[in-house]
Structure 1
Amino acid sequence: MYIPKHFKIEDEEEIYEFIEKYSFATLYSTHKGEPYATQLPLILKKDEKALYGHFARANGQWKDIKDQTVLVVFQGPHSYVSPSWYEISDAVPTWNYVAVHLYGKVDMIEDDKVILDSLNEMVTKYEKPDSPYNLRNVDSRYIEGLSKGIVAFKMNITKIEAKAKLSQNHPVERQELIIENLERSTDQNDFRVATLMKKNLY
């Protein structure tokens, strides 16, 4: 990923926090000689420097992924930035966003306990705290049957690239004008980008 120095995120904890918040990602590999991508939720294990997830067994991407270096992209909030918001007229539009790219190698998981633990952790992460649903309460034979339809994996992270393009290359006054305009929007992405810009600026 192209990252000018003022957009680079270097704080590992900040990167991990971002991954956990925006954990629905896109996994890219080469499948049958062509680029191939799958969108899927992933669980980060910081202590192992790894991601856990699973493919639908019918998705052939897993069949030739083992010895490849794969790319996982986590996309955060993003917004169009209009030059009409600036204090000058000689300007062009841009786009503000945050993204993290992880590279690594994939190992398939065959241990039933590891697979079930991974699924439980994923369900617990996304269910509301007051939700009565618990995967462990579902009939084990039903879960066992469904598990045959997935292929679980662990991706060992070998490289991390993280970018927050939040108008840091503009004067503070202009950044404040952008924030002001984004906060007027009803689009949640715009509001989130404004929040990130404020955090970065102040």
Structure 2
Amino acid sequence: MLRSPHYRLDDVTEVRRLVAGHPWATFVSATSQGLVASHYPVVLDPADPDGLTLVSHFGRPDDEYHELGRHEVLVVVAGAHDYVSPSWYPAGELVPTWNHVTAHLYGTPEVLDEEENYRMLCHLTDHFERGREGGRSLLEDEEGTRRTARGTRGLRLRVTRFEARWKLSQTKPATTVANVVRELEPVNPDLAAEMRAVHPGCPVRG
């Protein structure tokens, strides 16, 4: 990850917001057989309301491929991102870039037992079903969903360190930032909003 100090994001609250808003994560493990990567949803553990603890699950046999619980893993969470064209810059600036908000989260997963795993899967399902019209619950068929749950391995991961970046044109002059935001607004409003948050003087849409 680019380590320029202009883009460092050290605020745990902001990283929690990133995870909450972009729950589809990439898990990377350096196993005895080499690198392994998988993709699963993550949510913040409600038992750790101020810290940075994730809960998720792996489908079997991914847990064995990752040697889950035996070593540290990397969890990559990518937020809003997009290409930034030099055509949005003043004449003479020709180098494009990619603006993004990204976090690399590290920790050794705790593998949940069967009962904890089922509770976690209920929580995960309820989290994403909440607010949906006709939202469903695993408890509507507990016997059946418990059988299905045996094909998964739940995990809890307390993040012991992280590297996060928000690369949002911090090195550009205010007039250039404002123009980039204007160009992004109709096609990527989430990234435009992230830029306005980092550049409080940037004009709002209007």
| Selected match of 1:121 from 108, 116, 123 | 123
Unaligned runs of 5+ residues in structure 1 are none
C-alpha distance in 1 between matches for 2:181 and 2:152 = 44
Change beyond 3 A, Cα 1:60–1:129? closer
Work out whether 1:135 is the aligned partner of 2:133.
no
Match of 2:67 in 1: 64
Shift of 1:87: 1.4
Whether contact under 8 Å (2:125, 2:138) holds in the other structure is: no
The alignment partner of 1:64 has SS state of coil
Q: CA 1:68–1:145 in 2, change beyond 3 Å: closer, same or farther?
A: same
> Residues of 1 paired with 2:163 and 2:81: CA distance?
17
The Cα RMSD (Å) is 1.8
* 1:100 corresponds to which of 84, 103, 113: 103
Equivalent position amino acid for 1:76 in 2: G
Map Cα deviations across residues 13-66 of structure 1 (whole Å, 9 max, x no partner). Answer: 111111111111000002442111111001212346421111111325456232
* C-alpha separation in 2, matches of 1:62 and 1:42: 19
Aligned partner letter, 1:72: V
- Find the residue that maps to 1:80 and give its secondary structure: strand
- Which residue is 1:160 aligned to? 162
Q: Determine if the alignment matches structure 1 residue 179 to structure 2 residue 181.
A: yes
Structure 2 counterpart of 1:75: 78
- The percentage of aligned residue pairs carrying the same residue is 27
29-38 or 56-65, larger mean C-alpha shift: 56-65
Select between 170-179 and 125-134 the one with higher mean Cα deviation. 125-134
Counterpart selection for 1:89 from 89, 92, 100:
92
Residue 27 of structure 1 aligns to a residue whose secondary structure is strand
Greater CA drift, 133-142 or 120-129: 133-142
| Distance across 2 between alignment mates of 1:140 and 1:60 | 24
**Separation in 2, partners of 1:76, 1:69:** 23
The separation in 1 between residues aligned to 2:131 and 2:186, in whole angstroms, is 31
Counterpart-to-counterpart distance in 1, 2:43 and 2:186: 34
More helix by share: 1
Does the residue aligned with 2:133 lie in a helix, a strand or coil? Answer: coil
Alpha carbons of structure 1 residues 42 and 184: separation in structure 2 relative to 1, 3 Å: closer
Query: For structure 1, which segment, 6-15 or 69-78, has the greater mean C-alpha deviation from structure 2 after superposition?
Result: 6-15
2 CA distance for matches of 1:164 and 1:52? 24
Quick check: 1:36–1:61 contact (8 Å CA) kept in 2? no
SS at match of 2:109: strand
Structure 1 window deviating more from structure 2 (28-37 vs 172-181): it is: 28-37
> Structure 1 pair 88/158, CA: closer, same or farther in 2 (3 Å)?
same
For these two proteins, the number of residue pairs brought into alignment is 197
Give the residue type in structure 2 aligned to 1:70.
V
Name the CA distance, whole Å, in 1 between partners of 2:109 and 2:101: 25
